[in-house]
Structure 1
Amino acid sequence: MRLYDPILYPFALLYDGITRLRNRLFDIGSKKSVEFTIPTIVVGNLSVGGTGKTPMIEFLIERLIGQYKLATLSRGYGRKTSGVLIAGEHDTALSIGDESFQIFTKYGQNVLVAVGEARIQAIPEIIMEKPETEVVLLDDAYQHRYLKSDFNILLTTFQLPFFKDKILPLGTLREHRKGAIRADVVIMTKCPEDMSEDMKGECRLEISRYTNENCPVFFAGVKYGLPYGVSPSAHKMMGNIILLSGIANNKVLIDHVHSHYNVLEVLEYPDHYRYSINDIQKMVQTFRHHLARSPVILTTEKDMVKLKDLEFNEYLKEIPIFALPIKVDLKHTDEDKLMDMISMTIIEKGYKSEL
């Protein structure tokens, strides 16, 4: 127990009571949920950030994109705009949020990307904009119970699974662990490669205390792709790097980078951090400090899209910057089971695969 936990306990008790009451009102129908004819698939968590929702959304996009006409919807956390927006060629991380802009940058030619705080208002806008849409993937909407989703994917990390976590502000849970009862599948993310079957069995047992009897539990690792250049001067990936990280729970990322490269410095920022000119100048100064060792800047795709802001161009044009793709690594058998469940959900709503 931390010294200040007794001070936080009454606030956690109050927050727990409020969220339980809210869930209860939805459960009994006093608060109404809206179900749409178009299939809706939610990727979310019980905790505050850092479970790998965006990589999971990309995982689903890459497996469904050839079968269905897709749209993604998120709140657009960190954006300067509000209301429902459909991403277009003039949008940036500031207008639609860093994660949504990352998805738009990678898949925008084939997937409609939308943001909106009120999901039940945004989905009709999506259908109006693109009537042929067949599936909507919702990022971070597990607690958005005004939407009655068709399939809920609940993510929790190996490092801090929800069954070991506590309610805010004592821990990072947005709602009680019992909220896992709404999950159709639970995926433990960021699992180590050497995770034993005994450990998986223990985690399944703990998770099953809070889920439906038939809710499967899968275990996913993190798979890093090859870094690719994102600045004009990024020609060749060198061994000496300065790591720029603005993501939640970045220990797995830092461990991976240290094991593959010679890390000169790590510049760490909070999740969804909005970089300023001062931050960019600090990065440039750090780069110049190590200039004799021919360093490069290595960052995540999520951070990379924020560095594309036009006001940073003059500072970064001579800096070699590389982005490190982060993907979900799910066993083929678990992947097949997950996609079968999702496909069945979509078919039950009356939509058939184009394959």
Structure 2
Amino acid sequence: MQYLRLILLPFSWLYGLIIIFRNIAYDKGWFASRRFRIPVVSVGNLAVGGAGKSPLTEYIIRLLKDHVRVAVLSRGYGRSTKGFRYVSTQDTADLSGDEPLQFRRKFDQITVAVSEKRVTGIEHLQEDHDVVILDDAYQHRAVNPGLSLLLFDYTALSNFRLLLPAGNMREPFAGRKRADVLVVTKTPEILPQDERSRLISKLSPFPYQKVFFSYLDYGNLVPVYSGEEVALSEALKSQFMIFLLTGIANPRPLVHKLESGGGEIKHYDYPDHHPFSPKNISKLAQDFRQEKMAAKVIVTTEKDAQRLRSDSLAELLSGLPVYYLPVQARIHEPDKENFDHLIEKYVSEHLQHG
């Protein structure tokens, strides 16, 4: 891996120069960056995937949905469609992307849309909504959001900060200066003050930036196709065998959670947004049926479950106990109230009236 990084390093330097020039062009006004009158909250990160954007986006949805008309706008990564599109609960992941489909199926009182061009997307949404949440839009500088949240994965903060393709950084660490709020995600549930101080020192926030910390709270296992919920504590018993299917950028926190019960895990680990093929799922189903252990279950993530609902894959898994494990982001106390107030205050102060 180190040799591969060295080979790719010149390409990272070239990529870095392009990104730096692009950011300068936006900062200087040479490239247009549009600010909207409607409140726009951006959730993003500097690295490629895995920072916990979806759970934090859902946190903000829950915070606002009962008080204002919320729209979530995403690129819809991996979809086969183009242009602006409203996401329907009847969509497939191929039509709208897995994460937008997850948001739409989970929150029936909000609007979810996809568009490669976020300016176009906001133009479609602004008349009928009070706030637009941009999912994974930190590098989409054609929009100048009113409130920008930048996420950092706790489990990856010590990684090399190399740009693509040698590393996984979309832009230099200095790009954090555009954010209003920095959030360290996926921390342990108990986070001592000295560890918070260490993390803040590592992030080197600017004076105008606020720093918060969040952790993941896992729920019970929910059936993908049919059946009843299963308490996570039951699946974590030592006599259980878990067939874990993931297509996410960083499955380590999930694996760590499932390993905490002492049971055996067989992990089918695919790249982020991987379009599961019949061959992938046939292999999983065959291995599951051949396993002699009586107490066994197939577990996936909520995002991956959106791709498993296609008719062809559902047929291959027919009759098998397939569950997804929902997860929510929680803001560490005593800062939760401050975080909530910051979001709510920004939205309320920028609502369009009349």
Which interval holds the TM-score relative to the shorter structure? over 0.9
Q: Residue by residue, what CA displacement relative to the aligned partner does 1:42-93 show, whole Å, maximum 9, x if unpaired?
A: 0000000000001111111111111111000010001111111001243111
Q: Tell me which stretches of 4 or more aligned residues in structure 1 moved more than 6 Å.
A: none
Which amino acid in structure 1 is aligned with residue 189 of structure 2? E
Match of 2:182 among 175, 179, 186: 186
Gaps (5+ residues) in structure 2?
Answer: none
Establish whether residue 144 from structure 1 lines up as the match of residue 140 from structure 2: yes
- 2:272 is aligned to 271
CA shift at 1:236, angstroms? 5.1
- Return the TM-score normalized by structure 2: 0.92
Check the 8 A contact 1:163/1:177 in 2, yes or no. no
CA RMSD of aligned residues (A): 1.9
Distance 1:215 1:341 in 2: 12
Distance 1:112 1:103 in 2: 9
Q: How does 1:29-40 map to 2 (within 5 A)?
A: 29-40=29-40
Q: How does 1:225-236 map to 2 (within 5 A)?
A: 225-232=219-226
Which amino acid in structure 2 is aligned with residue 4 of structure 1? L
Q: Residue by residue, what CA displacement relative to the aligned partner does 1:156-213 show, whole Å, maximum 9, x if unpaired?
A: 11122288522222321111111100111100111123443222112212212xx431
Question: Percentage identity across aligned positions?
Answer: 35
Q: Residue by residue, what CA displacement relative to the aligned partner does 1:18-41 show, whole Å, maximum 9, x if unpaired?
A: 100000000010001111111100
- Return the TM-score normalized by structure 1: 0.92
Distance 1:249 1:230 in 2: 21
Establish whether residue 118 from structure 1 lines up as the match of residue 114 from structure 2: no
Deviates more, 1:262-271 or 1:66-75: 262-271
Establish whether residue 212 from structure 1 lines up as the match of residue 174 from structure 2: no
Match of 1:202 among 198, 205, 219: 198
Check the 8 A contact 1:39/1:346 in 2, yes or no. yes
- 1:103 is aligned to 103
- 1:243 is aligned to 244
Distance 2:259 2:352 in 1: 46
Q: Residue by residue, what CA displacement relative to the aligned partner does 1:317-350 show, whole Å, maximum 9, x if unpaired?
A: 2011111011112124322212222222223323
- 1:349 is aligned to 350
Query: CA 1:183 to 1:307, structure 2 compared with 1: closer, same or farther past 3 Å?
Result: same
Q: How does 1:1-355 map to 2 (within 5 A)?
A: 2-107=2-107, 109-127=108-126, 131-161=127-157, 164-208=160-204, 211-232=205-226, 238=235, 239-260=240-261, 262-351=263-352
Which amino acid in structure 1 is aligned with residue 73 of structure 2? L
Task: Give secondary structure in 2 for the equivalent of 1:76.
Answer: coil
Distance 1:201 1:292 in 2: 46
Which amino acid in structure 1 is aligned with residue 305 of structure 2? M
Distance 2:352 2:195 in 1: 38
